[in-house]
Structure 1
Amino acid sequence: MLTRRNIVAGIASLPFAGLAASLMPWASFAQDATGERPMPDTIPTNAGDLVIHPIDHASLVLEFDGKAIYVDPVGGPELYASLPAPSAILITHGHGDHFDVPTLQAIAGDAPLITNGDVHAKLPEALKARATAMANGENGTILDIPIRAIAAHNTTQDRMNYHPVGVGNGYVLRFGDSQVYVAGDTEPTEDMLGLSDIAVAFLPMNLPYTMTPEQAVEAINTFKPAIIYPYHYGESDLSPLETDVADGVEVRLRNWYPNQA
């Protein structure tokens, strides 16, 4: 059973001499055992590099063209102290592991926000004044970056109360010629399965709230992103992503829980 804890232990025990090149997608785990955050990844686009910073659980930062886009920042300002201040903030939905007002108030500065309608209604007035609510299927821009809101909800009948239809968002952003999909909390939806030409996707997998790793594999093999980052995975067994993902899709396993043993 491959979980976030035994990934760290297993990779840390490998003899790294001569293996660095072949283990690049896994290299961050060498430092995760010390409690440090994974190193950022760089994705080339035709308009410059996109730099991906995994932060914790469902929080990440995307740097592009001198801009820093924070996605679902929670956990307090200290998690972001070493990063550029946010140029914009995206929030997928209102659960506490994705939306935290004190963190936003501490880090937001004058950055614009894009949220779903539920979060927009809960924002303090100072943040709401520069926030835009997007509904599933809507298109827009933020900092001249095209963005589209993707339906994010449960599809299994006994899980529907966790993420009802029409509430949460995922987001597809276009950086140069590369599209990045951040799914938020969801099972495979028609919107997700209908995506195409996705360079990077972030997919959640933990029960009972989002999808199983097997559901994630099925979705990956349907819309075929070039690179997939499992995130929001808790104690899930990630082994199916090593064995069952179609050829041509790169699975990048990172430790999204660097502060947990």
Structure 2
Amino acid sequence: MKKLMLFSCLSLSLLACKQEKKEDKAPQEISAAVAGKEETKTMQDSIIVMPVEHASFAMQLNDKVFYVDPVGGAEKYSELPQPDLIFVTDIHGDHMSAETLNALTEQDSTLQIVCPQAVKEQLPEHLQSRLQVMNNDEEKTWWGVNVKAIPMYNLREEAKDFHVKGRGNGYLLSANDKKVYISGDTEDIPEMRNLKDIDLAFVCMNLPYTMPVDAAADAVLDFKPKKVYPYHYRGKDGMSDVDHFKNIVTTNNPAIEVEILDWY
């Protein structure tokens, strides 16, 4: 089981969480910058990212913990803080796992799952009361965090059946003047390119299922997030070249920070 290490990115007041093997390093406490009397304010102004694997991660925003696409069994999440809300983007097995969702919700009788209608239709009856359905472009608010469901779909003709428009959701989370975009499985769609003032973006790139590295980089250069995490980059023929993605982005716009976390 991987352990967690937190570090701060001061320029954006973002916190990211690296993962290391248990035998290498024990978890570290959040640095002194968030300790003492300034802790509450700093945490509210920060984003903590905890990658799990591929499309699955946890994030703390506005003092609440959100899980995104938890799959792989509850053990993968045993060292993470308990979630306040779970987001599911799509019906595929690397995004939706009824077994994992059931195990996570067993620990909290009030825990809700935000998902598109297509996910609701595929989850078992005992989870139905947990579900908060959001359709593309719909907005809801939890604990001061505004959530907007962003369309996610394929553009290339040969890939259109993988993700049809209207079935899945990306998500845009906004709180305390911070905006976080989670792409889900998508290509470089207009809805992504037209985003504004994004502080942190999770952008997928894997063939044949989502988009090529060059398309992902071109879209990022269009909507100009302050920071971007490539994620969901394991494809049919191995890993996408995220170093190439980083090189394209930072060469053409050095103001965009690209950080490659430990997803695999």
The TM-score with structure 2 as length reference comes to: 0.80
Task: Give the equivalent residue in structure 2 for 1:104.
Answer: 101
Task: Give the equivalent residue in structure 2 for 1:165.
Answer: 165
Task: Give the equivalent residue in structure 2 for 1:243.
Answer: 247
Q: Deviations over 1:106-144 (max 9, x none)?
A: 012331111011001122233221311111111111333
Q: Deviations over 1:225-248 (max 9, x none)?
A: 000000011111123223211221
Aligned pairs for 1:135-174 (under 5 A) are 135-174=135-174
Cα distance change, pair 39–165 in 1 and its aligned pair in 2 (3 A): farther
Aligned pairs for 1:169-180 (under 5 A) are 169-180=169-180
Q: Distance in 2 between matches of 1:81 and 1:252?
A: 25
Offset of residue 162 of structure 1 = 0.4
Task: Give the equivalent residue in structure 2 for 1:6.
Answer: none
Tell me the amino acid that sits aligned with residue 254 of structure 2: D
* Range that drifts further, 44-53 or 71-80: 44-53
Offset of residue 32 of structure 1 = 6.4
Q: Distance in 2 between matches of 1:37 and 1:223?
A: 37
Contact map agreement 1:26 1:252 (CA 8 A) in 2: no
Task: Give the equivalent residue in structure 2 for 1:225.
Answer: 225
Cα distance change, pair 73–214 in 1 and its aligned pair in 2 (3 A): same
Tell me the amino acid that sits aligned with residue 58 of structure 2: V
Listed as ranges, the gaps of 5+ residues in structure 1 are 1-24
Q: Distance in 2 between matches of 1:114 and 1:209?
A: 23
Offset of residue 39 of structure 1 = 8.5
Task: Give the equivalent residue in structure 2 for 1:254.
Answer: 261
CA RMSD for the aligned pairs? 2.8
Contact map agreement 1:32 1:255 (CA 8 A) in 2: no
Tell me the amino acid that sits aligned with residue 256 of structure 2: V
3-state SS of 1:98 partner:
coil
Cα distance change, pair 144–37 in 1 and its aligned pair in 2 (3 A): farther
Cα distance change, pair 183–36 in 1 and its aligned pair in 2 (3 A): farther
Tell me the amino acid that sits aligned with residue 178 of structure 1: K
Tell me the amino acid that sits aligned with residue 118 of structure 1: A
Q: Distance in 1 between matches of 2:79 and 2:17?
A: 20
Task: Give the equivalent residue in structure 2 for 1:51.
Answer: 48
2:197 is the counterpart of 1:200:
no
Task: Give the equivalent residue in structure 2 for 1:119.
Answer: 119
Contact map agreement 2:43 2:62 (CA 8 A) in 1: no
Cα distance change, pair 50–167 in 1 and its aligned pair in 2 (3 A): same
Cα distance change, pair 248–86 in 1 and its aligned pair in 2 (3 A): same
Structure 1 or 2: more strand by fraction: 2
Cα distance change, pair 76–69 in 1 and its aligned pair in 2 (3 A): same
Cα distance change, pair 32–160 in 1 and its aligned pair in 2 (3 A): farther
Task: Give the equivalent residue in structure 1 for 2:89.
Answer: 92
User: Once the two structures are aligned, what percentage of the paired residues are identical?
Assistant: 37
3-state SS of 2:47 partner:
strand
Runs of 4+ in 1 over 6 A off after TM superposition: 32-46
3-state SS of 2:179 partner:
strand
